[in-house]
Amino acid sequence: MSTTKRIKALNKSGSALLYTLLCIAMLSVITMGLAGISMTQSKISRDYYDSTKLLYVARAGMTRALSELARDSSWPSTSPYVGTLPFGGQTASYSITVTPAAGNSNNTYKVWEVTSSASLGNSNRTVRAIIESEALTKYVMFTDSAMWLWGRSETSDSYNGPIHTNKYFGFWGKPEFDSPLTSSNKDDSYYNSEKRKYTQDEYVTYDPSLFYHYVFGYSYDEPIASTGSNNFYFAGGQPEKYLSTNTTSQEANATYIIAGNATVTFLDAGGVEVVTESGTQIYSTDKVTLYINGTVQVSGTVNGEVTLACSDEVYITDNLVYSDKTLDVLAIVAEGNIMLYTEPEDIRDIEINAMLYSLNGNFSVNRFYEGAPRGVLYLYGGVFQKNQGGIGKCDTWTGELEHGYSKNFVLDPRFLSRPPDNIPVTGRIRIKAWRDNVAPLYIN
């Protein structure tokens, strides 16, 4: 073979070897890359698994905080509280820090910021929550008794906001609503709570949207959404809500305590005039709780933030309104009845701006069953009562108002996020907002 042919053969062999080496190198790089990816994915999966385990541990710590704070609002006695939890053959630990809001010590409504940090080995995870006392301020009307509501197509009554009864609803004439209605069906002879079954006449249903009393039949009396509303639904068989039966907490947290029956007049320029047998006194309305041992007559224009509580009954004798509906606050808490005390001959509309709590009685109108129709009762706030009180009386067949007032009740939305001071609370607490690690707070 000539020298030239030998060189060409060697060149071909060398090229093939070079190509082979390059392929092997590329395969090695790809193999190492895939191995690295696999190791990374394995680590990510392991870290995710560990992090998920720690999330449950941190949530267990938060559950512990919820339980303890419901029992003792000043828990824990020392901070942070440290606990352990067996988990997957290992022992995880959690550390709970509770920061109470300013003013918790003299307010029935309490707020805490709670942090629960979990650790397992070298891994950690933290959850934070805003926890609050459960208040009933999301309802425009609440009763602990049965509640009967008539069709809006026949009457001029309207309710803007959720409504709840611990017993049952009775409906007549397809009443219309723009917000949810719920009932607990306590003491309802038609309701079997163990089987969640409702038996009324020949009808048997397991549908919570039919857990109510009708007058003529489901098809005639079923509540419906008002025109343009997408927020309405009805559901029976829901959890019962607790309403306090006394004003002990309001008295304990009161800014001022007044003995004897009193006439209370809120002044346009601010402050409140209180007249008793002992004389006349002007009190501040700058975030105060005023407690009266006796009955109360009240009217005027509220300029400030006031909770007015009493051991007996409250009589609202005239318009009771805010100077500014975006700033002023009034809650009235009575162990007895709350009554709009106008006369049947007094024909005019009345406006009340307040959250009204009648703990053992009702909210009603004086002699609502007499005289000509008086007008419209405009309520901006909410009504919470042991029993449903009489506001007006309608003709049984036509639904037209015969006596008293028609109702226009509108929920004050400000109290969804921050209730008035020293209102009755249910004794339960709830998570208002939470976040996981550095994620933003989620409102619940």
pLDDT tens digits for 272-285?
999 999 999 999 99
Please compute the mean of the pLDDT values over residues 74-89 and round it to a whole number. Answer: 84
Contact 383, 140 (CB under 8 A): yes
How many angstroms separate the CA atoms of 407 and 9, rounded? 106
> What's the confidence (pLDDT) of residue 50?
58
- The band of 91, judged by pLDDT with boundaries at 50, 70 and 90, is confident
Number of Cβ within a 10 Å radius of residue 226: 16
- The band of 2, judged by pLDDT with boundaries at 50, 70 and 90, is low
263 Cβ contact partners less than 8 Å away, ≥ 6 residues apart? 274, 275, 276, 296, 297, 298
Please compute the mean of the pLDDT values over residues 69-94 and round it to a whole number. Answer: 86
Query: How does pLDDT run across 17-41, given as a tens digit for each residue?
Result: 667 767 776 776 666 666 555 555 5
- The band of 344, judged by pLDDT with boundaries at 50, 70 and 90, is very high
Q: Above 70 in pLDDT, residue 10?
A: no
Query: How does pLDDT run across 118-143, given as a tens digit for each residue?
Result: 988 778 889 999 999 999 999 999 99
Please compute the mean of the pLDDT values over residues 80-94 and round it to a whole number. Answer: 84
> What's the confidence (pLDDT) of residue 174?
87
Q: Above 60 in pLDDT, residue 47?
A: no
Maximum mean pLDDT: which of 3-12, 24-33, 75-84, 431-440: 75-84
Query: How does pLDDT run across 177-199, given as a tens digit for each residue?
Result: 999 999 999 999 999 999 999 99
Q: Above 90 in pLDDT, residue 12?
A: no
> What's the confidence (pLDDT) of residue 442?
44
Could you tell me whether strands 279-283 and 272-276 are parallel, antiparallel, or unpaired per DSSP bridges?
A: antiparallel
Q: Where are the beta strands (DSSP E) in 188-322?
A: 191-192, 197-200, 203-205, 213-214, 224-225, 234-235, 256-259, 262-266, 272-276, 279-283, 288-293, 296-302, 305-310, 314-322
> What's the confidence (pLDDT) of residue 439?
47
> What's the confidence (pLDDT) of residue 65?
93
> What's the confidence (pLDDT) of residue 72?
92
> What's the confidence (pLDDT) of residue 111?
95
> What's the confidence (pLDDT) of residue 43?
47
